[in-house]
Amino acid sequence: MLKDVMMSRASVRKYSDKEVSDEMLNELFEASARTQTMGNLQLYSVVVTRSEEMKEKLAPAHFNQPMVKGAPVVLTICADFNRTSVWCKNRKAEPGYDNMLSFVNAASDALLFAQTFSCLAEEAGLGICYLGTTVYMPGMIIDALQLPKLVMPVATLTVGWPAEEPALSDRLPVASFVHSETYRDYLPADIDKYYKEKEALPENQKFVEINQKETLAQIFTDIRYTKRDNVALSASFMETLRKQGFLSD
């Protein structure tokens, strides 16, 4: 059952030497393709990286996180309105998908596909890690994988057989993210209640201490995801979207 898989899963960053066969990957892709998609158009593509040469090229775009070279397979999942547009042009139809809404639609299709793949792969015993760096320097990935216009990388998964059994990471209580009928904003007492467990974790307390911060939240705002980085990366993300032809209007 997926339910049991989910309740015991954790991201895997170290992989054994055991091969992940093309046959297995294709079966996973076929089942993943049953995922809901806009107008049955399947607005995504997957680029499969196995060669050392291509991993070398992708690694810097992912801040040289060791999973890129350490995993037998790296999957770059892309929002893709190119294939559909080529189909239209070959069928006397004028595609109008060079705009933001079409990017949002294709990115949604791609991310839903990616997550079904992740669930199926973990159910099959594979270890998976998402690389959040995908949207930081998409231009480097586009160059390495030779992505044409109307194709934009939105998720990267490293895939292999697990060589580690990582501990489960913490999660907020369900009540913290579920709202009934309308959104009720968070009062200080809600925040205290919902973040108490996360803030009390020994590893988080140690992280705060090592970095000489006062609170765990400061680890996020001052070190991991700073305003300065976010602003710079937002600008380059939009620039890349434009370069890929999604902001023609």
Q: Which conformational region is residue 195 in: left (phi greater than 0), alpha (psi within -120 to 50 degrees), or beta?
A: alpha
Does 212 participate in binding a copy of itself (rule CB under 8 A)?
Answer: no
- Minimum CB–partner distance for residue 17 and a copy of itself (Å): 21
Q: Which of residues 24-83 bind a copy of itself (CB under 8 A)?
A: 26, 29-36, 38-42, 44-51, 54, 78, 80, 82-83
| Number of chain residues interacting with a copy of itself (CB under 8 A) | 119
On whether the CB atoms of residues 24 and 50 are closer than 8 A, the answer is no
How many CB atoms are located within 10 Å of the residue 41 CB?
Answer: 16
Does 167 participate in binding a copy of itself (rule CB under 8 A)?
Answer: no
Which residue stretch of 13-21, 65-73, 109-117, 158-166 sits at the interface with a copy of itself (rule: CB under 8 A)?
Answer: 109-117
Does 240 participate in binding a copy of itself (rule CB under 8 A)?
Answer: no
Report the distance separating Cα 194 and Cα 90, nearest Å. 54
Does 243 participate in binding a copy of itself (rule CB under 8 A)?
Answer: no
Which residue stretch of 13-21, 63-71, 97-105, 158-166 sits at the interface with a copy of itself (rule: CB under 8 A)?
Answer: 97-105
In angstroms, the Cα distances linking 198 to 29, 64, 217, 231 are: 35, 28, 10, 27
Does 172 participate in binding a copy of itself (rule CB under 8 A)?
Answer: yes
Give Cβ neighbours of residue 237 (< 8 Å, ≥ 6 apart).
135, 138
- Minimum CB–partner distance for residue 64 and a copy of itself (Å): 19
- For residue 147, give both structure tokens: 């992505």
